[in-house]
Amino acid sequence: MPKLKPETIIPTDEENNTINEQARSDDTVLTDQQLATMKSISEFPELRALAKLGRPHKMNPKQSTTIRLDAEVLVFFKQHGKGWQTEINAILRDYVQEHRT
């Protein structure tokens, strides 16, 4: 299971039951005629901006690169498990901050 964002709100059991009951009671089924009259979002240019797909663009996105490391260095960081590349990035960022002129 992925890690949850800190602002994620998890419903209580009671809230979860209410949500599930409402979902079960919503038996709305669209007719073929209703489906035929639906329009694509591309027909509404004013709404297209609201339909952003994917992750939001970062102001300073990371860049992919290839780096050659000593085997023992790579083993050391990989032993820390998932996030080892992020850890190397943080260490290098700290180094850059300390050595800026």
pLDDT at 70: 96
pLDDT at 71: 96
- Region of residue 56 (left: phi > 0; alpha: psi -120 to 50; beta: else): beta
Nearest to 75 by CA among 66, 65, 88: 88
Q: Is residue 61 scored above 80 in pLDDT? A: yes
Domain boundaries, given as residue ranges, for the chain: 29-53+62-99
pLDDT at 25: 86
pLDDT digits (tens, 9 = 90+) for 9-51: 888 999 999 988 888 888 778 888 988 998 887 788 877 677 6
pLDDT at 99: 93
Q: Could you tell me what percent of the chain has a pLDDT over 90?
A: 44
Distance CA 63, CA 22 (A): 45
pLDDT at 55: 77
Confidence of residue 65 (pLDDT cuts 50, 70, 90): very high
Q: What is the average pLDDT value for the chain, to the nearest integer? A: 87
pLDDT at 37: 92
Task: Give the H/E segment covering residue 26.
Answer: none
